[in-house]
Amino acid sequence: MTPELTPEQRKAVYEEEKRRLDAELPPRRLPMRLASIILFAVALLGIGIWVASNVYRAHALNEKLAEAIGKDRGLTETILKIETESSKMTYEELFELCNKSVESRTNLIVELRGVYPQVDSRLKEHLIEYLTAENEFIRAKRDFYLRSMEEPSAFNAYLEAVMNSASSSYGWEVYLREKSDQRERVLKASEETTRSADDFLKAYENMAKQEAKIGGEAAGAGLNFTPIFNQYAKENRKRAEDAKTASSQYTAAVMR
């Protein structure tokens, strides 16, 4: 007669027997079809995450580019509006704004070449061409205003030289020489102002054409390219033509 096992002994015998049976059984394998489905689902999930990540990154870069283009348009429009809001800005502020505009736009051109791979290569090329031309326009306007400042200053110096009286023959020679020098200064300033005004007008016409050319293409990419050069063309052209007329008057006045 075998001795009666205690509950703890029976539990130990049961667990030992279970371990032995588990060791003898072959490992369970998933059916081939189920395994394939699981692998496909995992792969699909990974691809989905990768695509979503790229889409999000592209969207973020597009928003960044749209913001940069919008800022550039705002700077340019402020400079174009000077003709209608001239009393609100000094020459010093204008030159500072022009310099800031050129620097900011140059940085944007550099970024376009390396930071925005998702942008269509053709659109990117056209944007770079447009922004480069815009920089040339801003430089032309800055030069035009600089020449416009120098011309009246030269004419005032000429008038001052004319009004100076001579008390001796030596003084008369000095007077004539000073008058001649100041006349040449006025003629040179008038010539440079006229040339600068013509350069500005050509740059303006070029920008109006460039803007019309790229507007639809940029809008298709989600970029705001509302025409601004045509909007302020009348005032800017008038400013340049008035400067050319003034130059002719300065020239006529010193040649009398």
130 touches 169 (CB < 8 A) = no
Mean pLDDT of 208-233: 85
Q: Is residue 77 part of a domain?
A: yes
Q: How many domains does the structure of the chain reveal?
A: 1
Q: Is residue 184 part of a domain?
A: yes
Sign of CA pseudo-dihedral 72, 75, 79, 80: positive
What is the tens place of the pLDDT at every residue in 41-67? Answer: 555 555 544 344 444 344 444 666 778
Q: Is residue 24 part of a domain?
A: no
Domain containing 143 equals 67-254
Name the DSSP class of 70: H
Q: Is residue 80 part of a domain?
A: yes
118 pLDDT exceeds 80? no
For all residues of the chain together, what is the average pLDDT?
A: 80
Q: Is residue 204 part of a domain?
A: yes
pTM (2 decimals)?
Answer: 0.72
pLDDT above 90 as % of the chain: 41
Q: Is residue 110 part of a domain?
A: yes
User: Quick one: pLDDT at residue 103?
Assistant: 94
pLDDT grade for 35, boundaries at 50, 70 and 90: low
User: Quick one: pLDDT at residue 176?
Assistant: 86
User: Quick one: pLDDT at residue 42?
Assistant: 56
DSSP one-letter string for 99-151:
HHHHHHHHHHHHHHHHT-TTS-HHHHHHHHHHHHHHHHHHHHHHHHHHHHHHH
d(CA 128, CA 151): 35
Q: Is residue 168 part of a domain?
A: yes
Q: Is residue 49 part of a domain?
A: no
Using CB atoms within 10 A of its CB, is residue 66 exposed (0-12), middle (13-18) or buried (19+)?
middle
d(CA 134, CA 126): 12
Token readout for 251 is: 């020239």
pLDDT grade for 90, boundaries at 50, 70 and 90: confident
175 touches 166 (CB < 8 A) = yes
d(CA 215, CA 218): 5
pLDDT above 70 as % of the chain: 70
Mean pLDDT of 132-137: 95
